[in-house]
Amino acid sequence: MSAEIELRAVTHAYRTETGPLPVLRHLDVKMPPGSFTAFVGPSGCGKSTLTKLIAGLMRPDEGQVWLGGQMVRAPRATVGMAFQNPVLLEWRSILSNVLLPLEIVPNTLSRAARLDRARELLALVGLSEFEEKRPSELSGGMRQRASLCRALVHRPEVLILDEPFGALDAFTREDLWQTMARLRAEERFTAVLITHDLRESVFLADEIVVMSARPATIQYRMASRLPAARDLDILYTPEAVEMLATLRRQIQIAQGRDAA
Amino acid sequence: MTLLRKIAVPLGAILVFLLLWEWLVWAKGWPDYKMASPSDLWPAFWKYRWLFLENGWQTLWRTVAGLLLAVVAGTGIGMVMGFSRLAREALYPLLVGFNAIPKATVVPIMALIFVGRHDFNTIMIAFMISFFPIAVSVSIGLSTLEPEYRDILRALGASQLTVFRKIALPKTLPEFFGALKVSVTLAFIGTNLMEIVSPHGRGLGALFDSGKISADYPLMFAVLIALAFLGIVLYYIVVALEKVFAGWAERAPG
């Protein structure tokens, strides 16, 4: 199952000591079920706020967030999240870390069914041999793979990725992009990706949204012109190069407005 | 590191220490009413062996009782301060002030208020002197929990209690055990303060006091060694518990 995500006129500000700090301004986006949308934009433009609003961890000052035809008022079990920091629990094995959401989310799965589900995901990301290891025994890329498994183990309708590959080296990052593409082919979810990496957004997303500087609005939207099945070479095709050039120009415009 | 080495190295260090001590007393020619030497200790232990057993037990159980109270109260206060910024701002100055008061000055007050209730007084002093590190470490452990850890569970609809049980509590355990190691030694100080000062006291502190009255220096030193021994035993019990409950925090050797 995957759900439609809809932001309706979302406006949000943080209350700070020097008065309210507006971060999002009148945001309207619709992401169809099963789609993969990347949000790119200047640092500090409120992209992470967006993930918290979609996850129901915060409520917008104005406007509404809708998931699968229901208005979001509180966190819901149909969401999975992964952050830049993999936040694995050091005292648990990798397998047990992946099982964590199933201990929280109401479900009727038997112990064996839960284990099967977790192992299925770990196999998909190539971590089968490491399920009994502690997080501290794994590399950064492997930890992030495990974190993705944890985000997906309860079959969420919505997957929220807040710069999950941001702290990894370039080669590992490209590996993880391919892992993500594989997960997307096997699992059903609507994905929201926050990233600073334009190549990442082009490789993974169906639609790329460029946000302006704070308070962020939607500055530019681009539907991917790439075929659904992609490998890394696709980043060097004329279509991809053109997309990247356009996106880079849009980011420069967004940053320029910030400096003015 | 092999088990043999683990035991042999600290035992060797203790032996060297005792030899140096013995040599110092011998070289200076101190009589045993000035400074007892290790060779005086064993006769003292043997002579008073039943007193040592009885009083050692008294000191040990009171210290452990005070420590358990400190764990319960310290964890409770630490949790309140860790989760509520208001409670943290309100309680910190109070706690620091309370901790700054020398407990030796509290001993006569306690002894006067709860006159005759020696066990209770002793346990309370052991508790008062040892809960502070636990409260501080638990509160810091909880208040510095990265928000992502909380978000991972809260995004699934988990309650505060679930977040505490699944993440905050286990994540704080290494800090908790670090503080408990400090508290163990502090608790012994508390117990003995009361046992020494309080008239008609019991326990090793009282035995020390009676040694002092009869100017029995070997006995006094033997008590100090017995206290050190109990301290080491309790400390390593905490280390063993730490290995069981927070062993994951230990880095692999090398």
ipTM of the complex: 0.79
Structural domain count, chain B: 1
Closest-CA distance, B146 to chain A, in angstroms, reads: 9
Closest-CA distance, A213 to chain B, in angstroms, reads: 24
In a domain, B91, yes or no: yes
Q: How many helices (H) and strands (E) does chain A have?
A: 7, 10
Instruction: Return the percent helix, strand and coil in chain B, to nearest 5.
Output: 85, 0, 15
Q: What is the pTM of this model?
A: 0.78
Cβ contact, residue pair A100, B154, below 8 Å: no
β-strand partners of A71: A66
The reply to whether A253 touches chain B by the CB within 8 Å rule is no
Q: Tell me, what's the pLDDT at B1?
A: 64
Q: Tell me, what's the pLDDT at A233?
A: 85
Within 8 A by CB and 6+ apart from B128, the residues are B98, B103, B106, B190
Q: Tell me, what's the pLDDT at B254?
A: 42
Q: In which band, very low, low, confident or very high, does the pLDDT at A259 lie, cut at 50, 70 and 90?
A: very low
- In this predicted structure, the answer to whether residue A38 has a pLDDT above a threshold of 60 is yes
Give A103-112 contacts, CB < 8 A, sequence gap 24+.
A103/B166, A104/A77, A104/B153, A104/B156, A104/B157, A104/B158, A104/B162, A104/B166, A105/A77, A105/A154, A105/B156, A105/B157, A106/A77, A107/A154
Q: Does residue A215 sit in helix, strand or coil?
A: coil
Mean pLDDT of the residues in chain A: 87
Q: Does residue B156 sit in helix, strand or coil?
A: coil
Contact A171, A116 (CB under 8 A): no
Q: What is the mean pLDDT of each run of 10 residues along chain B (254 residues)?
A: 83 92 91 84 89 92 95 92 88 90 86 83 92 92 85 86 87 91 92 85 88 88 91 92 84 50
In a domain, B13, yes or no: no
For residue B108 the two structure tokens come to 């006569």
- Which residues of chain A from 158 to 187 reach within 8 Å of chain B, CB to CB? 160
Phi, psi of A158 (to 5 degrees): -130, 130
For residue A174 the two structure tokens come to 């490209």
In a domain, B10, yes or no: no
Name chain B contacts of A101, Cβ cutoff 8 Å.
Answer: 156
Q: What is the CATH number of the domain that holds B106?
A: 1.10.3720.10
Q: Tell me, what's the pLDDT at B30?
A: 87
Cβ contact, residue pair A85, B148, below 8 Å: yes
**How far does chain A reach from its first CA to its final CA, in angstroms?**
45
**How far does chain B reach from its first CA to its final CA, in angstroms?**
11
Contact B223, B211 (CB under 8 A): yes
In a domain, B20, yes or no: no
Q: Is the dihedral of CA B106, B111, B112, B117 positive or negative?
A: positive
Contact B204, B223 (CB under 8 A): yes
Name chain A contacts of B149, Cβ cutoff 8 Å.
Answer: 87
Q: Tell me, what's the pLDDT at A25?
A: 87
Cβ contact, residue pair A75, B246, below 8 Å: no
Residue of B151, B152, B177 to mutate, testing the A interface (most A Cβ within 10 Å of its Cβ)? B152
In a domain, B208, yes or no: yes
- Name the nearest CA neighbour of B83 among B163, B156, B170: B163
Phi, psi of A209 (to 5 degrees): -115, 120
B50-74 b/e (C-beta count within 10 Å ≥ 16 → b): ebbeebbebbbebbbbbbebbbebb
In a domain, B219, yes or no: yes
Identify the domain containing residue B150 by its residue range. Answer: 39-245
Spatial separation of the C-alpha atoms in residues B30 and A255, rounded to whole Å: 81
- In this predicted structure, the answer to whether residue A256 has a pLDDT above a threshold of 90 is no
Q: Tell me, what's the pLDDT at A260?
A: 42
Within 8 A by CB and 6+ apart from A126, the residues are A145, A179
In a domain, B31, yes or no: no
Segment A80-90 shows an average pLDDT of 90
Q: For residue A157, how many C-alpha atoms fall within 13 Å in the half-sphere facing its CB?
A: 18
Residues of B with CB under 8 A from a CB of A: 146, 148-149, 151-158, 162, 166-167, 170-171, 173, 246, 248-249, 251-252
State the SS3 of A158-170: EEEEECCCCCCCH
In a domain, B19, yes or no: no
Residue of B nearest to A74 (CA): B157
> Tens digit of pLDDT for each residue in A128-151?
999 999 998 998 889 999 999 999
The reply to whether A152 touches chain B by the CB within 8 Å rule is no
